[in-house]
Amino acid sequence: YMEPSREPRLVERLVRRLAHQRHAFVVHVDLYVETSFVDHMVAISVDLQHRDRVSAVCLLRSGHMVYKSGTAMRAIWNTQEWLLRGARRWRWMVVLTGSDYPLFEVGNLRRLILRSKGSWFNRYPAGSKLNTVCSAETVSLHASRRADRVWPNCSWLKKKVIQVRFNSFGFGCAANRKYYSLGYPHVRLPWLFITDSDMRLAWSLPHHNAILSRDTIDFLVHDDAAKRAFLYFEHLQSASEEHYLASLFTLPRIARLLDLEQPESCVMSWQRGSRAHANDSVHNSVLTPAEWDLIEDATRRCVPFARKFWNADAPVLDLIDQASKSFGRKLCADRNTRDAHALPTKQQLSMTQATSV
C-alpha cells in the first residue's frame, strides 16, 4: 500500500523493484491531485501488469490528504477494512509512501518478513536501553515551541486536560511500563515516550511506514481498544500516524503481535554529527551518496526500507540496486545479527512459495 506524494516515476521504480508474482500493490491517490498525475499512475498500472506481469496494481482514489491532519490515517484504515473484507489470500500489508525505497532485493525482503513470525516490525536496535521517563506537551505548544522538561512520573501530567483525555482512552504511561521509548529527543504531543539522542537512521513507527501481518490488521480494525486509539489519533493536528501504533504497545493482548527485537520497518530521518533533521525539516531532507555509510549501517540492522528519496533518477538509488546482493550476503553472514534474525529453515522457505506477501 503506497501514498505517492510527488513523482509517479519514483512509485514506478519502487513497484518494479518489489514486483513479484505474489505481490499486489494498492496506490492511494488524492481526489484533488492533478489529472496528469492520475493519468500517469493509470499508465504505470497498466504497463506493469501487462509488461512486467505484476499480479495487480490497484489505483485507489479517495479522500483529500491534508498535511497536519489525520487524513492519512483514515485512508489507511479504509484500505485495511477493504482488504479484510474483500480478499482472503494475503498475509502481510506493507505500508509505504512514494518516497521510500527497499534496501534489499525482494527475496531477502520476504525472508525478513518471514522471520517476524507475525510480529510487528519496529525501529528498536537490539541491546537498546529501556527509557521509563514520561513526557508530554499540550497541543497549543506544539507548533510554537518544544517542551524542555521531563517528569519522572505521570502524576503531574494528569493536570493537563489533553493528557487526562489521553488516559481516559486507556493508554498507559511509559513511567510504569517496560517498553522502549519512542520519539525524537524533543518532546511533541502526544509522546508517551522519549528516546535516546542518537537517532542514526531511525525515527519512530508511523502507521504509514509499517509491515503488518493479517492478524495485526484484524486486531487494529476489530479490537475495541485499537478502535478507540484510532478515533483519538485521527483528530490530532500533527504526527498522528507516528504515535497511533505506539500507543497500543502497552496493551497486554498486543504482546503476541509485538517483538521489540524485530528490525525497524522504515527510516524517517537521519543525522550527521551535530546536524540533525527532524520534525518539519525531515520532510525536506533526502538521503544522498554522502550518507552511504549510514545506509550500509541500516542494512546491517536489517532495515527493510529507507527514506526519503524524491527523484527516480537519484544516483543513491542506483547504488542501492547495485549493492543489494551484497546487502543480502551481509544479511546472511553478519555476526551482529541476533539469533532472532536467523535465516528461515528449508521448510519455512518452501512455505514462502505458497504464501502472499
Q: Which residues contact 140 (CB under 8 A, 6 or more apart)?
A: none
Please report the pLDDT score of residue 138 as a whole number: 27
Is 318 a residue whose pLDDT tops 90?
yes
For helices 106-115 and 315-333, angle between their N-to-C axes, nearest 10 degrees:
50
Q: Sign of the C-alpha dihedral, residues 285, 37, 316, 46?
A: positive
Residue 231 gets which letter from DSSP? H
30-37 own/partner pairs: CB under 8 Å, 24+ apart: 30/61, 30/63, 30/64, 30/65, 31/61, 31/62, 31/63, 31/64, 32/64, 37/8
Please report the pLDDT score of residue 158 as a whole number: 38
What is the pLDDT averaged over residues 191-214? 48
DSSP string over 273-342: TTEE--GGGGGG----GGGHHHHHHHHHTT--EEE----TT-HHHHHHHHHHHHHHHHHHH-TTS-GGGP
Is 3 a residue whose pLDDT tops 60?
yes
pLDDT range class, residue 319, cuts 50, 70, 90 = very high
Please report the pLDDT score of residue 220 as a whole number: 87
d(CA 111, CA 135): 37
Lowest mean pLDDT among 4-13, 165-174, 266-275, 292-301: 165-174
Please report the pLDDT score of residue 329 as a whole number: 65
Residue type, 190: P
Is 299 a residue whose pLDDT tops 50?
yes
Longest dimension (CA), the chain: 61
Of the candidates 100, 98, 80, the residue with the CA atom closest to the CA atom of residue 266:
100
pLDDT, one tens digit per residue, over 36-78 is 888 888 888 888 777 766 667 788 777 666 655 557 778 788 8
DSSP string over 122-169: --PPTTPPP---B----HHHHTT--B---BSSSTGGGGSHHHHHHHHT
What angle is formed at CA 236 by the lines to CA 68 and CA 174, rounded to 5 degrees?
120
Please report the pLDDT score of residue 297 as a whole number: 77
d(CA 270, CA 272): 7
What is the pLDDT averaged over residues 272-276? 46
pLDDT range class, residue 133, cuts 50, 70, 90 = very low
pLDDT, one tens digit per residue, over 155-173 is 433 333 333 333 333 344 3
Please report the pLDDT score of residue 316 as a whole number: 92
**Mean pLDDT value across the chain:** 62
d(CA 240, CA 254): 20
What is the pLDDT averaged over residues 195-214? 51
Percent of the chain clearing pLDDT 70 (strictly above): 47
Global pTM exceeds 0.85: no
pLDDT, one tens digit per residue, over 67-121 is 555 577 787 888 889 889 887 888 888 888 778 888 888 888 888 777 766 666 6
Of the candidates 95, 80, 73, 97, the residue with the CA atom closest to the CA atom of residue 235:
73
Q: If you classify domain 2-123+205-235+286-352 with CATH, what class do you get?
A: alpha beta
Please report the pLDDT score of residue 303 as a whole number: 76
Is 224 a residue whose pLDDT tops 70?
yes
Is 317 a residue whose pLDDT tops 90?
yes
Of the candidates 281, 309, 244, the residue with the CA atom closest to the CA atom of residue 72:
244
Q: Sign of the C-alpha dihedral, residues 232, 233, 235, 238?
A: positive
Is 309 a residue whose pLDDT tops 70?
yes
Instruction: Determine contact, residues 345/318, Cβ cutoff 8 Å.
Output: no
Please report the pLDDT score of residue 26 as a whole number: 83
pLDDT range class, residue 177, cuts 50, 70, 90 = very low
